[in-house]
Structure 1
Amino acid sequence: MEKNNKSAAHPYIPNTIPEVQRQMLDEIGVDRIEDLFAIIPDDIKLNRMMNLPPVLTEYELQRDVEKLLNKNKSAKEKLNFLGAGCWQHYVPAVCDEINQRSEFVTAYAGEPYEDHGRFQTLFEYQSLVAELVDMDVVNVPTFDWAQAASTALRMAARITGRKKVLLPATIDRDKLMIIANYITPDLSYSLVDYNSETGELDVEDLKQKVDAETAAVYIENPTFLGIIESQGALIADITHLAGALFVVGVDPSSLGVLKPPSQYGADIVCGDLQPLGMHMNFGGGQAGFIATHDEERFVMEYPSRLFGIAPTSVEGEYGFGDVAYERTSFAHRETGKESVGTQTALWGITAGVYLSLMGPYGMQELGQTIMQKSQYAAGLLGQVEGVQLKFTSPFFKEFIVDFTNTGLSVAAIHAKLSELGIQGGKDLSQDFPELGQSALYCVTEIHTQEELDQLASTIKGCLAALQEGVSV
């Protein structure tokens, strides 16, 4: 850049005025901006001009971006049966109304000078989730379920002083990748097989793999494949006999009809808050929680913030604030047990609003509705020629549809469904090849009987058309 070339200054990029750049370079003793990148090897530097499109005006840029965005199809345009970690639930309008209030959206850190009820709302959120999972302590949300599970496992390792964890072989492969990245190399993990008939954990394989080095046994209930795990108490006994901690991941939308993990021996409960009032978003709208009993050995291992209530100097007045702040990575910084950083507190507030609106009976009704509709859908699909349902155990809102006997791939079937305005379930053929050409379908309270009938009839028509090689 030439020193006096004022036209080179960019209106939106700071410090591009040549005189300002020259002053900054002189201050740090560097002749050219390029010298700042001298440490980068030449063989990985781009040695040609970038092939960039012509400069656009603001309006032209807006129009181009809108064209790209218009290619997207959301669950409003398509009938959606895809879950697998991000589920389509009804979001009450009050959830959006509350979480967009300025005192919550702008109160980033929530310190006293900027706290306008944020501490209290997070305390209320923690209290409501604690009641739902039947635990005492709940953290300010993590980014997602995967991070919550990872942190829970590291907590267990610090508490037990052990270095090995056991995970279910039915775990979501994306979640497994995150957990592995989060806990290694400090901890190692092994997968515990599942029963090929029921889909539940293979307890005999668990007995073979759990030992004196095991810090934690982690399961999910319902599992990633939708199965309701009925062996929770047995798995807890096996785990505790080995001196390990029992960590259970849970979908909170199931807890209106399923027993909370604490009641069958869980030491740490974690899960995803997305079903509790959060829209499906690409790259956002996820939040995870961790819950434990109110015991010092658990509380002091939380790396994330916890909010509590305490009386003030004014009689009858109460305040809300951090519990044992000194244990957090915010206080310890680089010497902390685990770095948490920014957390998804706004989604915690949203989940609190949702739970307060639903109440115990609302959550029970939600769970019953989901089970009834998912059972109805599975029954219809199981009647389609060539289609089978995997596993004999009960399931919650997701179930496996096996297309293997149709002679067609899930990819081909789902492509045809997409053409007809239906988003099929998650293709499992790559992550779980032992299940053949199977897909994980999700049905929630938002699906109507008419839509479920439409799914079954459309799949039947697609299979016939693909097998005969004709268009639908």
Structure 2
Amino acid sequence: MTDERMLKSLGIDSIDDLFSDIPASVGIDDIDIPSGASEMEVIRKVTEILSANVTAYDHPCFMGGGVYNRFIPSAVKAIISRSEFVTSYTPYQAEVSQGMLQALFEYQSYIAELTGMEAVNSSNYDAATALGEAAAMCYRINKRKKFLIPQVINCDKRSTLRNYVKGIDMDIIEYSYDFDTGEVDLNDIMRKLDEDVAGVYIEVPNFLGVIDRQTVDIKSIIGDALLVVGVDPISLSLLKAPSSYGADIVIGEGQSLGSPMNFGGPMLGLFGCRQELVRKMPGRIIGLTKDAEGNRAFCMTLQTREQHIRRSRATSNICTNEALMAVAAAAYLAIVGRDGLQTIARSNMAIARKLRDALSSVDGVECSTLEAPFFNEFPARLPIKPEKMSKILLRNGIIGGVPLAKHVPEMGDCMLFAATEMVTDSDIDKLINIMGAIV
């Protein structure tokens, strides 16, 4: 159909008539839109633009702080690329999609095994929103208005948490840490505990990579306040499950389980709790049941969302989740297995220690800033501003660590370096050579 015939069928004289309700004062007269291009030309141009990016695919990457450059088996992408799985949403009439529900059920089962939690939901957006949901869940359980978090935490996670609890007027109170070890200050936690504290949040490993040796003691000192533990799922193949030291709620970032960094999203929020708290847990749970003919079937259960029940009774206003990323996590864990996950965790620890020793050899760089054991990342004090170091490294084709100034102001002269299985000896050598030439 020609333009003239389309305009005539609509009863208008020009395309401008379609926008007659828009005031001329906000319109733009001259827009420099180039003529159309072929698909081949568009691909060539977009590829040229993208080539300016410095990515972890072709450059050494030492950035962590919550999102990590990890190896993803090709089979993971092949599985989640199947038409049965490719969706950014949990399907309505979900019971028709038994394959999707079974994959999510397997995901829940894997996370439950890693964390020791009896109930796990089918995902949250990311670790930050999972923390916000955990604080709100603590309030629903005991109606208290204070939530304790560590002073050492990713600032974006802290910001998301504060936004989450504004509506319930909850106070977020920070407790300090030991500047020598990097571990929490138990005495400060005890000083800030009172009858209004709903829950206490700890991270294992924490934001600085420290494996806090006092974690096992925290439940015994916080009384009837709920213990919320943030985890790195890779580390759980070697560390004790949070359930073993009294965790009531466990959250975490599941991006390491088969999802790329994706410029920060989509991520995968892990969320689990003790069985007796399950009806206060946000999100959805995939359950195992039987159909009308007695056959095994999967179904969505405990969907206490504002779409399904009265908003005032809903445990969460989140209307969707990260179903595809959860399927990726299930596929990743099934492929690498228990032994494979432990091998990955051990290699991370070994490479991180090799990186630390190498950085310590650079004049002016101090890596022995903390005494406690660490997993796969650690802070290093630099002789120049970390932000400046990042720019120099980037110009030399290296993605450096995370400058800590905005996250932990007391460590403004430090950079957080992470090492995963993707870091090679040659990557470390290149980093050391460039940093050595700078300082």
> TM-score, normalization: structure 1?
0.85
d(CA) in 2 for partners of 1:151, 1:356: 28
**Residue pair 2:404, 2:411 contacting (<8 A) in 1 also:** yes
Q: 2:250 and 2:338 mapped to 1: Cα distance?
A: 19
1:72 aligns with 2:72: no
Among candidates 172, 196, 201, match of residue 213 of structure 1:
196
1:161 aligns with 2:137: no
* 2:159 aligned residue (170, 177, 180): 177
Cross-structure match for 1:84: 65
The superposition leaves residues 72-130 of structure 1 with CA deviations (integer Å, 9 ceiling, x where unpaired) of 12112211111112101110111101111111114943324741411111111101110
Deviation at 1:274, TM superposition (A): 0.5
Q: Is residue 123 of structure 1 aligned with residue 105 of structure 2?
A: yes
Report the CA distance shift for 1:342/1:208 in structure 2 as closer, same or farther (over 3 A): same
Distance in 2 of aligned mates of 1:179 and 1:9: 52
Query: In the alignment, is residue 430 of structure 1 matched against residue 406 of structure 2?
Result: yes
**Does the 8 Å CA contact 1:333/1:339 hold for their aligned counterparts?**
no
Q: What secondary structure, in the 3-state scheme, does the structure 2 residue paired with 1:360 have?
A: helix
Question: Where does structure 2 lack aligned partners over 5 or more consecutive residues?
Answer: none
1:34: Cα distance to partner? 3.6
Percent of residue pairs bearing the same amino acid type = 33
Task: Please give the TM-score of this superposition, normalised by the length of structure 2.
Answer: 0.91
Superposed counterparts of 1:21-420, under 5 Å: 33-34=21-22, 47=26, 49=28, 52-59=31-38, 64-106=45-87, 108-110=89-91, 111-112=93-94, 114-186=96-168, 187-239=170-222, 241=223, 243-295=224-276, 298-315=277-294, 317-325=295-303, 327-332=304-309, 334-335=311-312, 336-389=314-367, 390-403=369-382, 406=383, 408-420=384-396
- Distance in 1 between residues matched to 2:4 and 2:411, nearest whole Å: 62
Task: Encode CA deviations 1:152-196: one digit per residue, 9 max, x unaligned.
Answer: 111111001111101111010011111111111411101111111
Q: How much has 1:458 moved relative to structure 2?
A: 2.5
Query: Contact conserved, 1:410 with 1:427, CA < 8 A, in 2?
Result: yes
The alpha-carbon deviation at position 432 of structure 1 amounts to: 2.3
- Change in Cα spacing, 1:283 to 1:385, as seen in structure 2 (3 Å) is closer
* Contact persistence 2:98–2:298 (CA under 8 A): no
Change in Cα spacing, 1:114 to 1:108, as seen in structure 2 (3 Å) is farther
1:19 to 11, 15, 26: 11
SS in 2 for 1:117: helix
Amino acid across the alignment from 1:352: A
**Partner Cα separation in structure 2 for residue 372 and residue 21 of structure 1:** 72
Preserved contact between residue 352 and residue 377 of structure 2 (Cα < 8 Å)? yes
Counterpart-to-counterpart distance in 1, 2:195 and 2:110: 36
Mapped to 1, the partners of 2:393 and 2:25 lie a distance apart of 43
Instruction: Give 1:320's aligned amino acid.
Output: F
Contact 1:232–1:265 (Cα < 8 Å) also in 2: no
Partner SS state of residue 263, structure 2? coil
SS in 1 for 2:85: helix
- Superposition deviation, residue 454 in structure 1: 2.8
Offset of residue 450 of structure 1:
2.8
Query: Higher RCO, 1 or 2 (CA under 8 Å, sep at least 6)?
Result: 2
- Deviation of 1:203 after TM superposition, in Å, equals 1.0
Instruction: Give per-residue Cα distances to partners, 1:406-443, cap 9 Å, x unaligned.
Output: 2x211222222222211110111233231131101110
Secondary structure (helix, strand or coil) at the match of 2:309 reads helix
Q: What are the ranges of 5 or more consecutive residues in structure 1 without an aligned counterpart?
A: 1-5, 11-15, 26-30, 36-44, 464-472
Within 2, Cα distance between the matches of 1:68 and 1:61?
11
Structure-2 change in CA distance of 1:48 and 1:233 (3 Å): same
**Offset, 1:63:** 5.4
RMSD in angstroms over aligned alpha carbons?
A: 2.7
**Match of 1:321, SS?**
strand
> CA, structure 1 residues 7+375, in 2 after alignment: closer, same or farther (shift >3 Å)?
farther
Q: What is the letter of the counterpart of residue 416 of structure 2?
A: L
**Could you say if the C-alpha distance between residues 7 and 140 of structure 1 is closer, same or farther in structure 2, counting changes exceeding 3 Å?**
farther
Deviates more, 1:217-226 or 1:356-365: 356-365
The structure number with the bigger radius of gyration is 1
User: 1:21, 1:168 → 2: CA distance?
Assistant: 65
Residue 445 in 1 paired to residue 421 in 2? yes
